[in-house]
Amino acid sequence: MEGDISTLGQFIGAGLAGLGSGIAALGVGNVAANFLNGALRNPSAAASQTATLFIGIAFAEALGIFSFLVALLLMFAV
């Protein structure tokens, strides 16, 4: 094992940024769970709202992807 303190910080930072992806997964799960909750109460209205579901998932996912990007940048570009 060799390396300097900046490499250490780089890897720790990448790991911490990776946490963000997991937290975004909570948000995506929340969107999907609430959609299913509503869809089971009123199945006839569910089909027309799948586009909204995917837009909501995409927006919730975007911030997780940002943190994934930060992790990638720390690993490979810094």
Q: Which is nearer to other proteins, 33 or 58 (CB)?
A: 58
Q: Is residue 26 a contact point for other proteins (CB under 8 A)?
A: no
Measured CA distances, 73 to 17, 24, 51, 78 (Å):
10, 18, 32, 6
Binds other proteins by CB under 8 A, chosen from 20, 24, 61, 74:
61
Q: How many Å is the Cα radius of gyration of the chain?
A: 18
Q: Tell me: does residue 36 bind other proteins (CB under 8 A).
A: no
The residues of the shown chain that bind other proteins, judged by CB under 8 A, are 1-2, 48, 51, 54-55, 57-58, 61-62, 65-66, 68-69, 75-77
